Amino acid sequence: MKMSWKSFPPSCRRKRSPLMFYCVSCRMYYRLHQTNLTQQFYALHGKEYLIRQQLISEWRELLQLPDQEQTLEKGAILIAQWMRPCHCPGSSDIALQLDSIAEMVAVHLVGGATHEEGEVRDTKRVRRSALARVKEEGCHSVDERLAAINSVMYDQLGYKGAGEAYYELDNSFIDRVLERRTGIPITLCVIYEAVARRLGVHLHPVNFPQHFVLQITRGKNGPRPHPDHCVIDAYFRGQRLTLNELNSRTFGRAGVPRVTVPAQPVDVFARFLNNISLLVNRMNIERVIHAASGQWW
């Protein structure tokens, strides 16, 4: 039996009828594991449809929040889930990965914990305790926390810029960047900002035509920039840059402002989507070129 979008009325959406949503989802799961390829095909599209219906609701909820409550992390997750609905992990799974990085940074800051015998101990309980201490005690400066993030992310975990693989689509999906530890400026900045926020450091995104960086701010209420107008380049191992240094790094282009203006979350989401659109178009053009040259296989 063929399945079409008409098979999924609004009553099947999770918020309208959780039970109906569950039943239809189970039916999709059953069909996906049948040997009939036609049923598998329609079941896959049906599953994608159901997931995207839920994502539409989550997008609306996110965009209705005040700007200061819209997290880059959430938007990046929703974009990755929309593009890869049957493969991207859930929001909670990705959040746990970011929590784990923040906990590692906290352990690095407090020097870890030890047994009575003096052996280094880094259990989940100890890591969570270290993160709570860093956030509550406030005994570590912003500079110390940022240095610890750099040490953990780039030295211990090996996060890095995509380099020659810059134009791979996976670099735009936060779950794939967390898995591969390789990304482009915008995804690395979103991960860096999410980890810093968990450690009580508030960074704001800054859009440039050829680059994407984070601005160091003082305090949560409003973007008060660092007096030296320092920005963090997550693509280059979390380096601190002045605006002049940033100007020379972005291919020497003129027009880098003297004062950075934080981008609103919706602007960051739009840039994500624009990047993905450009990459998909680039991939399609390459396919046409290969096909025209007889290299389509």
- Please state, rounded to an integer, the average pLDDT across all residues of the chain: 79
Q: Where are the domains of the chain?
A: 1-64, 72-292
% the chain with pLDDT above 90: 46
Q: Assess whether pLDDT exceeds 70 at residue 145.
A: yes
Q: Tell me the per-residue pLDDT of 188-203, one tens digit each, with 9 for 90 and over.
A: 999 999 999 999 999 9
- pLDDT tier for residue 135 given thresholds of 50, 70 and 90: confident
pLDDT attached to residue 32: 55
Q: What is the pLDDT of residues 68-114, one digit of tens each?
A: 999 999 999 999 999 998 888 999 999 999 999 999 999 999 885 43
Residue 250 reports pLDDT greater than 80 = no
Q: How confident is the model at residue 61 (pLDDT cuts 50, 70, 90)?
A: very high
This prediction's pTM: 0.80
Average pLDDT over residues 218-226: 50
CA pair distance 115, 232, nearest whole angstrom: 37
CB atoms within 10 A of CB 213: 27
Residues 162-186: pLDDT tens digits? 999 999 999 999 999 999 999 999 9
Residue 152: the pLDDT is 96
